[in-house]
Structure 1
Amino acid sequence: MRAAIALTALAVTACGQTVTGNFAAGEIDVRKLEVGKYPTEPMESYYSYSHGVRGGTSLAISRLAQHVVIGTDIDPRLRYGAGIQEVAKPDDVTESMAEPSKEVAERNKMQFGFISGSSDIEPIPFQKVPESATLVTVTVLQFPSADAATTAAREFEEVDFNVNPVENQRVPIDKYPAAHTHWRPGTPNIGSTIAHGNYTVTVFAATSSADLPLLTSLIEKTYTAQFPMLDSLRPLSPEEVLRTDLDPEGMKRRVLNPAKLGVPNVGSMATYNLQGFLHFQSDREAAKKLFGEVELFTFGEGYSSWTFSYSKGVAQGFGTGSGELLDGSMVFRNRDDESAQRLWSALIPEPDAAMTPNGVPDSKCSEVPRPGSSAKMFACIVRYRNYVGRVWTTQPEDARQRAAAQYAVLANSQ
């Protein structure tokens, strides 16, 4: 542990803010940084979290997401993200399942869930994934009991099969005889649902041709990868959901929080391990290599928790990836200073020297591309010990101020 002499001070910044701050011997005085309107103290200095259904459900969904497969867990070719969706209420299941499924979810008292799509072709924002792609969309839902999940799985299959009962045909999955599976012969897609403990797992797979052995193989591989992840996740009772703590990892207190709010959401004020973080990435294989040494990821304002579906209830229509918000912040906790330095070096490899924030150590910035969007985006990276912060916004000066504030929050959170 590095020895430090802690000093507590009160100062008035150039913008007229009154802020408190701690700094250690050998470190800069963060009170002097050009932070504009942004907070520089950890979250507990301005916000007190109140337990409730909304926040608890969001925290439970984020917890579940860390135990849901991504495409590369199923097949190495499925490296691209095709959208995510939180399931906080029965209506949300219709993003990836048949419309009558919401009544099934409601009748069996579904608690929450998470949907994640994967593809072998990188989705283009605001464009439907081409029909030549291989797609797998996984929906995992938690129910109050194993009996409720078993009933729900059977009923999910019934309502989906009955969308077209004349042409649909039952399909056995040899390795998983309890799975409820069907397809319409001649079509390049298949749907399957199975109960696993208190959870149901629904998989929609699509390929470029009506190849039933290939489609059933994707279903089987998905279940094989998914079940061990759920086995390591203890189901939560409704009371436990309600009482879930906001920040047991001590990460949300360290991320820049311009709105000074701590209401959790799947894409904002949320903390993930690598598995959970990868759901939000477009090229998940590349992201896994880049962020493989990171222990925890926290979003301040990060991602939309809703994807865009072109036609609900079918794998081909689910999502085009998970886009970042126009303004945002993230903090990455690495295992040590050296791994944090490696990540900092890899992010923004060609910085714009003219954008470097004044007086902020280990900082760099650059304009970053936004495919499919006319809006400009400017991002900055800062490092403090074993933490790396990333902020982004639509204006370069705003990006510099956010970077300075993020560095100050990290320094003041020790």
Structure 2
Amino acid sequence: MRFRFRRLAGAVLAAAVASASAGCGSDSATADHDPKLDVGSYSTQRLDSGYDDRPSLDRGILVDSLRLGERIAFGSEVAAEFAAGQGGQVLASAQGIRNIPGVSEEAMYQYHPLAVYFAHSAETPFLGAHQHHFELSIALIAFPDEQAAAAAASDLEQHDNAVNGRTIKNEAVALPDYPAALSHWRPGVPNMVSWMAYKTIVVAVDVQAREAKLDLLTDYVSKTYKQQLPRLDGYTASPRVQQPSLKIDPDKLLTKLVKTGDAHPDQRDFAVYAPRAFAVLGTDPAVTAREFDTRGVKSIAVSNNKYLYQLRDAAAARDFTGFLASDPTVSNYGSMAGVSGAPEIACFKAAKPNPTVVSARRFRCLIPHDTLVSEVFSEQELDVRQLAAAEYVLLKDAG
């Protein structure tokens, strides 16, 4: 998702925002909407909060990992060459840790990692194959204590050296500003990797450039640490015994979204994000995070093909509805007829596909209510209206 502000246009949106303004603050559950709204087969019953009430280690690890994601540095904060976001991902679960270059479960499992988050950025959102690009990966790995983090950083570096230095020997690289960092590169290859323990967290950095210039790679890694380390101050992962009781949705936002899939915490399909962690998922994280902060976005609930944005107040929600309606994606959405009987709802049709997403995005509707703004998507025009109508009813009934 890439957010760009564009001037608001269209009577459909103006009517929607005006209606939302008039309706804010109503305590009515059902009297202020048309009972004959076409919701198709969608349920308008609120989802049970059992997904958060029952103990779950998987959920707890996801919560702590997403908290790391809220602190990860954006590539654009390191250097302009890494301005384009390539997404972020939780790598840890109750089943183990997903291995990526620089992050090996085998090398650190004995130190009991508690949470892992990874983000990638590059010079452009779309990278051609078999070419050298400017690319930056950062992984944050939380451990129970500082001793475990320091030992894990050392073992991660040694493991990578052993695996990737078999044919051509890697050379150690010292970072004058960060003597605790463990780094190496392969002469002639435009890539450098580094690990550093900072308090209870290991920061793993993997940087690639267009040319194999050691001074350039060293500078990029040092700049990464400069941006990343201060963001980690104050973070402490929950002890393993406490993680099963962590809640991913303390405000019960997910119960205010129409159920269309499995109600099991999942970083892509069923989760609640803080603004910065959600911004990491897009192609322009710094701009998105700035927009969220300026416009008062407090959190974002994700449920399959639906988003629910929680704003600081009703005025901010009305403003954010207009912002979303101004086509902040590459799909060039144009207004279309909304939902009969619910003038607050504004609906749109994409003029072209969005190559940055794989899920259904052809049609979308915006449903503002009080301090919330719901955004729903579908590939079918009738279906998106029915989904929007069901979401409208659910939000109204939720109060």
The aligned residue for residue 69 of structure 2 is: 65
Unaligned runs of 5+ in 2: 1-22, 328-332
Please give the secondary structure, in 2, of the residue aligned with 1:104: helix
Q: Give the superposition deviation at 1:106.
A: 1.8
Equivalent runs, 1:248-267 vs 2, <5 Å: 248-259=250-261, 261-267=262-268
Distance (whole Å) between structure 2 residues aligned to residue 206 and residue 353 of structure 1? 42
In structure 2, the residue corresponding to 1:270 is in which secondary structure?
strand
Shifted more, 69-78 versus 191-200: the winner is: 69-78
**2:101 aligns with one of 96, 103, 126:** 96
Residues 166-315 of structure 1 correspond to what in structure 2 (within 5 A)?
166-259=168-261, 261-292=262-293, 293=295, 294-301=297-304
**Kindly tell me: are residues 183 and 48 of structure 1, through their superposed partners in 2, closer, same or farther at Cα, counting changes over 3 Å?**
closer
1:109 — aligned with what? 112
1:87 aligns with 2:71: no
Output the amino acid matched with 2:144.
P
Relative to 1, partners in 2 of residues 1:249 and 1:174: Cα closer, same or farther, differing over 3 Å?
Answer: farther
Give aligned pairs, total.
364
Give the corresponding residue for 2:134. 134
Instruction: State the match for 1:74 in structure 2.
Output: 78
Structure showing greater relative contact order (alpha-carbon pairs closer than 8 Å, 6 or more residues apart): 2
The counterpart of 1:341, out of the listed 313, 318, 324, is 318
Report the aligned-residue RMSD: 2.7
What secondary structure sits across from 1:339 in the alignment? Answer: helix
- Secondary structure at 1:185's aligned position in 2? coil
1:157 aligns with 2:162: no
Work out whether residues 49 and 263 of structure 1, in 8 Å CA contact, stay in contact via their aligned partners in 2.
no
The superposition leaves residues 211-230 of structure 1 with CA deviations (integer Å, 9 ceiling, x where unpaired) of: 22221122112212222222
Identity of aligned residues (%): 25
Structure 1 residue 5: deviation in Å?
Answer: 7.2
Report the CA distance between 1:160 and its aligned residue: 0.9
List gaps (5 residues or longer) in structure 1: 8-21, 302-327
* 1:290/1:346 contact within 8 Å kept: no
Alpha-carbon distance in 2 for matches of 1:234, 1:249: 22
Which residue pairs with 2:4 in the alignment?
A: none
3-state DSSP class of the match of 1:203?
A: strand
Question: 1:411: how far off?
Answer: 1.9
CA contact (8 A) 2:115 2:237 kept: no
Q: Name the CA distance, whole Å, in 2 between partners of 1:374 and 1:361.
A: 27
Q: How does 1:317-336 map to 2 (within 5 A)?
A: 328-336=305-313
TM-score, normalised to structure 2, is 0.83
Instruction: Determine if the alignment matches structure 1 residue 370 to structure 2 residue 354.
Output: yes
CA contact (8 A) 1:62 1:270 kept: no
* Alpha carbons 2:30, 2:393 under 8 Å: kept: no
- Say which of 368, 371, 384 aligns to 2:369: 384
CA contact (8 A) 1:61 1:266 kept: no
Question: What is the one-letter code of the residue matched to 2:292?
Answer: F
Equivalent-residue separation in structure 2 for 1:159 and 1:248 (angstroms):
39
